[in-house]
Structure 1
């Protein structure tokens, strides 16, 4: 490639990288993620497509970039090495996140952290780099860093060899893992000793930007049988049923997990028995959220035989609004997107409905781990 072609590759690389960062940050920030859900824009799929395009650009240009930067100023070499490192981290962690069902929990959790931190690390550099180029502003880098003066002796005498670069990269990874690990265990450090300790933290995902607001005494759940006979149950009715506590690991399809969560509520088999007792086994259940948008469906055996629950408390405390207060579904063998929040309606049907994420995305209908 000549210099002009490399310049074009540089501009394409910058454009695709910005799109990748914008979609990635939108997935990370709850407000934007929810907004795209409301607009029915498949942000995850768009992010993956852009990432694949970015991989192609890097693979095409990486060798030529190294040749170009070999005799260039230190800042050029730094740019190349920085993005090669970040590309490696993004690619490896992204693959592990995509195939997270094939790897242990600790691998998928750390993959999410590495993916996030690699993004936050590069943002300041991109802002400085882009600001200087777009507005032709002279960034006060040292002249030797930009290649306009001879490298000082105290630096030239300690030029980095392969071993030094390897050590630096390993040190960088150690600090990256250390920072991610501290963030990962932070919920443990902030809870009293007598409470159930857990590993990880919840990322709150919704399909609307406003949480349904209920008072416990006003909340009701409607249950409809196959004959469309409807009955509404209150929290008082729920407390008449036996309550159970379980400690389980909560897994999200995006790759993160929270381990050792204490959940308390009622088993759906105890709640639904009067409504399905006189019906055949081939019936289905659709569970609706109070946000009036989200819902998901199950076979009757998935809820009854696999010990699905309606949850009212988490770690000994009532659910927060963002967690689905006062009631959410929980299935111990399925990903979190099957655990409908703010449950207000449970409908028995003769055929199975496609859930929200099956209609608006490519999520598996059963959602097993």
Structure 2
């Protein structure tokens, strides 16, 4: 005997159940990836598996949408007299499609121009801020406990109530006014208010950054440099082009991602070294480093997670000038960079390191680079994704072999060129 095909209602129920689980897991994995409090632990061990799981779940979510579309016409016909259900369905489908399309761009970001990825990340973020609280609210309010019937006072018109009270003293003796809201409504409103209060601060902070400070008049870009964890004095004296910010100022905002504890710096102990396969190993103090000739350039900054900051005015020492001063030996093939956090390293080939726009920057838009953004000195490689632009740079070594950098060891490509 052939098995009977599941009924329409059962098919919808199965799709709804699977979609609920997949969206829940997508929310968990998606929120873990950028969460500062777990980034160090996650990036050191499980970031790539979590990222791959997130991608797989996103693909499965797309498959469920494809399975639903043949049933959609009949489903809409079934709920045509239920405006709330139709509204919920439309909203959830828009969420899923928005997440799916923007997620595909972020997944295949190396195949798209940076502006596509930047836009996709903003859409993905916005849908997450709106969609996750909505889905949590919808899921909880649809539980049996929330839908459980309860004893309610029957509502009557004001005239009917007065008539009953006047004609029946017994009714009047036991009459209790109908409450303005019932228990279920109270719980739903309380849950909605709680979710809104929980999400609002981070949402408005994100919105303010995404709009370049349009809400609170605080511009994007970087924080000021002076604080107790970054005692680097004197501050660099900017060149005229930095003072005038020839690029017009950074367009966008930097997202602070760190996988190690933020290091602290003091100009009394800070040192910058170049060694390895060089003719003249050298070590500079902070004041000596600031005395080196600097250039100013305008370039874009692209993170491999999708966001970009455009038209940055950087001031610093061209890397080619530093290598020339140290004298590169003939057998040197790669340039290895060391971060002041003691963990992060990366490499460029000699040819890449000598590109005109690669520099060790000490100023951004005419101001010292804050510690949170890689200061007091950081590498800038504009034509590659930012994991090549080593933060807190304080050491360079010339080597004759390949080196697997921090992110490359965790699955990132050694070839980090940005698509133009």
The answer to whether TM tops 0.5 is yes
Alignment of 1:199-218 (within 5 A): 199-208=251-260, 210-218=261-269
CA contact (8 A) 2:277 2:328 kept: no
Q: For residues 326 and 244 of structure 2, what CA distance do their matches in structure 1 show?
A: 40
The gaps in structure 1 that reach 5 residues or longer are 141-179
1:257-306 residue CA offsets vs partner (Å, 9 max, x unmatched): 111111111011111224344424x5111112122222111111211234
Q: How does 1:119-158 map to 2 (within 5 A)?
A: 119-134=128-143, 136-138=145-147
> How far apart, CA to CA, are the structure 1 residues paired with 2:55 and 2:321?
42
**Paired residues for 1:213-228 under 5 Å:** 213-226=264-277
Q: Does 1:190 align with 2:218?
A: yes
Q: Is 1:41 aligned to 2:54, yes or no?
A: no
2-structure distance, mates of 1:118, 1:250 = 25
Query: Which of 252, 260, 263 is 2:311 aligned to?
Result: 260
Cα gap change, 1:41 to 1:235, in 2 (>3 Å): same
1:170-204 Cα shifts (integer Å, max 9, x gaps) = xxxxxxxxxx9975342475359976433211111
After TM superposition, the structure 1 = structure 2 runs for residues 95-114 of structure 1, keeping only pairs within 5 Å, are 95-114=104-123
1:31-62 Cα deviation digits (max 9, x unpaired)? 33443113343133222121112111221233
Q: Secondary structure, in 3 states, of the residue corresponding to 1:322?
A: helix
Distance 1:102 1:366, change over 3 A: closer
State whether structure 2 residue 393 is matched by structure 1 residue 367.
Answer: no
> What TM-score comes out, normalization by structure 2 length?
0.71
Change (3 A) 1:314 1:233: same
What is the CA distance between 1:355 and its match in structure 2? Answer: 1.4
| 8 Å Cα contact 1:223/1:346 also seen in 2 | yes
Write the distance in 2 (CA, Å) between the matches of 1:20 and 1:252: 22
| Matched residue, 2:224 | none
Select which of 87, 92, 95 maps to 1:86: 95
TM-score (norm. length: structure 1): 0.80
Is 1:243 aligned to 2:252, yes or no?
no
Is the CA contact 1:241–1:270 (under 8 Å) kept in the aligned structure 2?
no
Spell out the pairing of 1:326-365 with structure 2 (5 A cutoff).
326-361=376-411, 363-365=412-414
Distance in 2 (alpha carbons) for counterparts of 1:271 and 1:297: 16
Q: How far 1:71 moved relative to its partner?
A: 1.5
Q: Is the 8 A contact 2:271 2:394 kept in 1?
A: yes
After superposing the two structures, state which structure 1 stretch, 186-195 or 336-345, moved more.
186-195
| Structure-2 separation of matches of 1:328 and 1:366 | 20
Could you say which structure has the larger radius of gyration? 2
RMSD over equivalenced CA pairs, Å: 2.9
Please, which runs of 5 or more residues in structure 2 have no aligned partner?
A: 1-5, 150-205, 221-242
Which whole-Å CA distance do the structure 2 matches of 1:125 and 1:368 have between them?
A: 38
- Quote the offset at 1:237 in angstroms: 2.2
Q: CA offsets per residue over residues 212-241 of structure 1, 9 Å max, x none?
A: 111233211232222798643221221231
Per the alignment, residue 52 of structure 1 pairs with: 59
Q: What's the counterpart of residue 166 of structure 2?
A: none
